[in-house]
Structure 1
Amino acid sequence: MYLKKTISNLTDVALRITKQLLTTEGKGKNMVYSPLSLQVLLSSVTAGSKGPTKKQLLSFLKSKSSDELNSHFSHLVPLVLSDGSTRGGPCVNCANSLWVEQSLTVKPSFKRMLVNDYNAVIKEVSFGTDPDKARVQVNSWTKKETKGLIPEALPPGSVDENTMLLLLNTIYFKGVWSHQFDPSETEERKFRLLDGSTVEAPFMIESYGWHYVKAFDGFKVSKLPYKQGKDKERRFSTYFLLPNSRNGLPDLVKRVCSEPDFLDCHLPEIQRKPGALKIPKFKIKSNFLASEVLMKLGLVLPFDGNGDFSEIVESGIGDAEIIHKSVIEVDEGGTKAAAVSIFHCHEADCAEPIKTIDFVADHPFMFFIREEITGTVLFIGHVLNPLEE
């Protein structure tokens, strides 16, 4: 019950971020991000803060205490964020790391929390004398933890001698569809864009068999489950939310992100009659300054030089920012997705009858990757043009 309530709260937080992100930064382009990655990062940052900064972070994350957040994620990792590939299920990996200037001292209590609750690795590096070497090391770690999907988390010049510490979270997901599409059935079809024009895109097609799909007022929902093998404690699926109207995605995004428990209230059902299922293949890469998105939602203090993060290191921290990168690839076999969230700190001064329903995603749509038993949302995004990354 406790875990379910915490996940429900964090899903509400995720949808607040999603509404802001998809209607501003991602308004005119494909977008994917991992709310879970940002939440793991913000939770560990919360543990390193105090005073008004901590109070604001806890309020934003809808939590009573850092202990509650830390306990939640320490329990969630073995339940949801662990590798199930040896049991025939999806490969999921959640990794955390702290990279700190070697001249600074990490507080023992913060170090214990990172290691015990977040299974983090802690590295001392020399930002002051060789910041680019440290950047390359961080990128190498990120590339390894995301299985090569994110080879460069930090571009050249993003780390300098004023960097004090980098706190990172990565999430990697690889799942095989429970019922894979036949590549020989994939065909070029028209995908209608928001501006009324069309592009020819490769569509994965399933014309027979049972599908999870349901029509609601103004939109349809389709669910594609992933193979779980002997991994009986978890069930992962991707949800596709398709507005009936070609240009109905903006309104659907607002609705999804404004109605409490939207996904739980709009679950698709197994069809008793075969219906066509046509979904475009797509690959999306996204990169944005998450701290700016969070600021627009009222989370300001930690990023303007006034935040109190004195529970992380002995000396004070000045300006900070949060960077987020994500990538997703969807094809006939399944899905690969990865995300990295980086906290970068600088020195101061710096009930309907069952019927057949076709689900043809030939215009902009939303998607979620979700673990079914706990309700944990790993990735969210929208596709405006499947030919663009």
Structure 2
Amino acid sequence: MDYKDLKALRKPISNQTDVALKITKQLLESEFKDKNLIFSPLSIHIVLSLIAARTNNPQFLSFLKSKSIDDLNSLAFNLITSVLADSPSRGGPRLNATNGLWVDESIPLEDSYKQVVLDSYKAALNQVDFKTDPEQVRIQVNSWVDKETRGLIPEILPPGSVGSGMCLIFANALYFKATWDDDFFYEPPNSKDHKDCALEDFDNGTYADDPRYFSMLWLLPDARDGLPALTERVCSESRFLDRHLNSFTTVRVKKFLIPKFKISSGFEASGVLKKIGLGDGCDLMAIFHESVIDVDENGTTAAAATCAETWDCDGDFSKPKEIDEFVADHPFMFLIRENRTRTVLFMGQVLNPLSG
């Protein structure tokens, strides 16, 4: 996929980012109000899309801001095969985005859905026996997640979470590892109220061979206690990220200080999704999500996994200027995204870098 094709994905991905910010807002107002947070809205989105492709539930389409199942499937295909494709020979970030589906052997899957799972989502189909040995299914799913996240998430499904009455588990695993590119960062122009905003590039390897480039964005409010107000604006104002973070001035920074941190977060997402509009679409399922991130002087490693269990078996920059410093010495938000398409892979907040 070339640069022009990547840009064509911006509209559907913008809708996906809107959903991501709704989830973020709910998490920061409830389970993670006074805690560090890391999660992957993209991982959750892909799993919900897998479910929607089978059930054709209009609530899922509305929630995911998609016009049709075909549009959802097309977006998933483009994300998995282009935006998230691993290209180790080019020297850029290491990426792994995989999907899996565990189906009870007594449940017939329509041939059309099987084709979508295999072609659009590149997912592995696994026939299992929930009724006789649900614990073995749990172990199998956890082992798959552990492998696909390079050991960063060894257990997504806790003991007792898989029962004999289940029939389907939809899963996504996402892994990202990249080194910092250089000592540049970028600030959005005319951003008086949140001028301490930085974007640090990851090493992209052979740029001519790969139109993608990945960055980590740091959203640091001027006020030391200003994070709640900033997160409210980021998550509530329509197209905030598009308006404020897509036109940057290149800056060579004299002092760039960010803390090293390693944090992990986990939550059951069905209740969160129901509160923000999915309604009874997730009544007959449990959705487990786990994410981890490790940031140090070399770069960033992050991973996420989402598993949904269901009981419902019917369905170029200008010349850089210089600034003095960027010092993240108080609470901040962060995002990891691919900048051509503006795909948000991970986002979260850090209140205390010493607390995992």
Give the match for residue 317 of structure 2. Answer: none
Which amino acid letter does the alignment assign opposite residue 250 of structure 1? Answer: P
Q: Following superposition of structure 1 onto structure 2, how do residues 11-26 of structure 1 map, counting pairs within 5 Å?
A: 11-26=17-32
Would you say the 8 A contact 1:211–1:275 is kept in 2? no
**How many residue pairs are counted as aligned between the two chains?**
338
2:251 maps to amino acid? Q
Alignment counterpart, residue 275 of structure 1, candidates 238, 254, 258: 254
| 1:343 aligned partner, one-letter code | A
The match for 1:374 among 341, 345, 348 is: 341
Give secondary structure in 1 for the equivalent of 2:323. coil
- The 5 Å alignment of 1:101-140 reads 101-140=104-143
In structure 1, how many angstroms separate the alpha carbons of the residues matched to 2:277 and 2:242?
27
Give the secondary structure class of the aligned counterpart of 2:258.
strand
The structure number with the bigger radius of gyration is 1
SS of structure 2 residue aligned to 1:111: helix
Using the size of structure 1 for normalisation, the TM-score is: 0.83
Letter in 1 for 2:29: T
The equivalent of 1:35 in structure 2 is 41
Q: Is 1:243 the equivalent of 2:246? A: no
Quote the offset at 1:66 in angstroms.
Answer: 0.4
Change (3 A) 1:251 1:104: same
Give the match for residue 10 of structure 1.
16
Would the aligned equivalents of 1:99 and 1:125 in 2 still touch at CA under 8 Å?
A: yes
Paired residue for 1:217?
Answer: 192
RMSD: 1.8
Q: How far apart in 2 are the matches of 1:115 and 1:9?
A: 25
Match of 1:46 in 2: 52
Q: Is the 8 A contact 2:185 2:251 kept in 1?
A: yes
Deviations 1:128-173 (A, max 9, x none): 1111111111111111111111011111111121221111011111
Displacement of 1:96: 0.6
Q: Does 1:291 align with 2:265?
A: no
Q: After TM superposition, give the deviation of residue 295 of structure 1 in Å.
A: 0.8
Distance 2:322 2:126 in 1: 57
1:169 aligns with 2:181: no
1:324 aligns with 2:289: yes
Find the residue that maps to 1:322 and give its secondary structure: strand
CA offsets, 1:66-106, max 9 Å, x none? 00110111122222111122211001111111111122222
The answer on whether the counterparts of 2:42 and 2:345 sit within 8 Å (CA) in structure 1 is yes
Cα distance in 2 for partners of 1:172, 1:41 equals 15
Helix, strand or coil at the partner of 1:300: helix
Structure with bigger helix share is 2
Amino acid at match of 1:123: N
1:29 is displaced (CA, Å) by: 0.6
Residue matched to 2:59 = 56
Tell me by how many angstroms 1:359 deviates: 1.2
1:24: Cα distance to partner? 1.5
Question: What is the CA distance between 1:374 and its match in structure 2?
Answer: 0.7
- Opposite residue 115 of structure 2, the aligned amino acid is R
Q: Secondary structure at the match of 2:225?
A: coil
Matching residue of 2:240: 262
**Identical pairs, percent:** 49
**Aligned residue number for residue 384 of structure 1:** 351
- Residues 221 and 266 of structure 1 are in contact (CA less than 8 Å); yes or no, is this contact kept in structure 2? no
Instruction: Give the match's secondary structure for 2:175.
Output: strand
- Contact 2:254 / 2:322 at 8 angstroms: preserved in 1? no
Once residues 2 and 70 of structure 1 are traced to their aligned partners in structure 2, the CA distance between those partners, rounded to angstroms, is 16
Instruction: Say which is worse superposed, 372-381 or 229-238, in terms of deviation.
Output: 229-238
**Residue identity in the other structure for 1:103:** S
Q: Is the 8 A contact 1:168 1:342 kept in 2?
A: yes
TM-score (norm 2): 0.90
